[in-house]
Amino acid sequence: MSAVPYRRVLVKVSGEALMGPDAFGLHPPTVTRIAADLADARALGVELAVVVGGGNIFRGVQGAAKGLDRATADQLGMLATVMNALALEAAIEAAGTPARTMSAVAMPTVCEPYSRQKALSHLAKGRVVLLAGGTGNPFFTTDTGGALRAAELGCGALLKATNVDGVYSSDPKADPAAVRYERLTHSEAIDRQLGVMDAAAFALARESRMPIIVFSIQEPGAVTAVLRGEGRATLVTA
């Protein structure tokens, strides 16, 4: 534990990361690998909360673009995050680490409703807490939900797990001239309109002075490497 500077962190895992090589849904070997990485991170002694996206199943913005009412589309996206969280919970438990899914959208026959006090209790008992349902409200992304939960749970850092190894000036998959940043401030990320997270998430993290570490979750052991300061990542801080 002495090698890890954080007592508690929140990891934001995108829904797309759970697809693996597939074009849609959950790729079981990828889910198993990410779950094992999260379990290993917990074994370092770090209290671990996880916010899961839903873009591998349904993305609210895309649904609205196809004619759905935006609020309804976002509610469908919230349900997708619950599906992903339950899949990760099962995989983390199979890896030998206790886990609990909590949803901001109440569905008590499926998982626990989210409350800050109960989430803190689970964390103190060594359980990985998977936070689904976003903020429970439409028009807010799971990135914003991650920044909100990280702040209210008193996390030392928000780890943004993506498909690229940091923050770039533009999409490195589409622009070979994209510049990778080693370090940024929250204000710089907002002013430069860097798309790795939405502006509301960066603003909330800035207000709570929450460092954000952006890294790729494509390789095994990525979360533990970042926690030890060994991984390739971009640090966004005050």
Q: Which residues carry a binding-site annotation?
A: 12-15, 54-55, 59, 74, 135-142, 162-163, 168, 171
235 vs 3: CA distance, rounded Å: 18
Binding site for UMP: what residues are annotated? 54, 74, 135-142
236 vs 187: CA distance, rounded Å: 9
Binding site for ATP: what residues are annotated? 12-15, 55, 59, 162-163, 168, 171
Backbone angles phi, psi at 83, to 5 degrees: -60, -45
Q: Which residues contact 69 (CB under 8 A, 6 or more apart)?
A: none
Q: What is the DSSP string of the chain?
A: -TT---SEEEEEE-GGGGGTTSSSS--HHHHHHHHHHHHHHHHTT-EEEEEE--TTT--HHHHHHTT--HHHHHHHHHHHHHHHHHHHHHHHHHTT--EEEEESS--TTTSEEP-HHHHHHHHHTT-EEEEESTTSSTT--HHHHHHHHHHHTT-SEEEEEESSSSEESS-TTT-TTPPEESEEEHHHHHHTT-TTS-HHHHHHHHHTT--EEEEE-SSTTHHHHHHTT-S-EEEEE-
